[in-house]
Structure 1
């Protein structure tokens, strides 16, 4: 049985990719792809994960701000607290 070989590379459009094959040799990289080390691949993947988490946190904060604004507007119109919370999804200090 042959060992699995893994190849890390970047496609011409900047996308990181990897493939694992069984055999004695790695196939040629796709046209225009450049090899990256496993360490570079892992570091870039980790950086992308951090960016994604920051993006999600920003979206959550924006959504919470919008929900709070909607809740406050309803309360100013005299809508009862429980009703305003139910309509908007606002949950006080817990976030949306």
Structure 2
């Protein structure tokens, strides 16, 4: 459904997911890609990367301000490791302790 004359969610995913994939493909082994965007764009892109049908994307829920999601790529494709997280996991990456 178009909201306020804007893009359909599937159009957003059609535009955003290939950009994420293109940059992810350029990462060195073990590299991390950080994507910053609006919550709706992140949700639809995650849904597309996970291979979910568009009518299931709403089930992911939106992202709260200043929160994030973590995806990992496995042997069978992308996996959602965290969603709408607001605290750092333990141990903190890059911590020398």
The structure in which a higher percent of residues are helix is 1
Q: TM-score range by the shorter chain?
A: under 0.3
Larger Rg: 1
